[in-house]
Amino acid sequence: MREVGGWIYEDNLTRVVEYIATLVHYRWDDLDSGALEAGIPSTDADLPPSTWFEYPIVGTPEITLRIARDHEGGILSVTISGGVDAVLAARFETLLDLH
């Protein structure tokens, strides 16, 4: 299991998770977005990642997102783990670097 991590601007959250879902052949919808909107506000990036909001994406491959807020400026810390090969890891890293 490989893990990719980085950060994104909070305003880009929906766009980024939709791209992530597309990369693993998962159709993201409003229910998924609603789960993120409900789960992320109470998180804190200063706490261990095991306490962050966790959301599975059952695509090919299956992955798990962990997301937490940095309360100092609209930033979200993100980790992606699961059946991530080197090519997919590079795509995720690029995506996180751009947003």
The residue range of the domain holding 43 is 2-98
* Positive/negative CA dihedral, 82, 42, 31, 5: negative
Query: How far apart are alpha carbons 66 and 51 in whole angstroms?
Result: 9
Total structural domains within the chain: 1
pLDDT at 98 over 80: yes
**What are 42-97's pLDDT values in tens digits?**
899 999 988 999 999 999 999 999 999 997 779 999 999 999 999 999 999 999 99
Smallest CA-to-CA distance from 68 within 41, 95, 92, 91 is with: 41
**What are 16-44's pLDDT values in tens digits?**
999 999 999 999 999 999 999 999 998 99
Is-contact 55 63, C-beta < 8 A?
no
The pTM (predicted TM-score) of the whole model is 0.91
- CATH number for 37: 3.30.310
According to DSSP, the β-strands at 63-70 and 53-57 are antiparallel
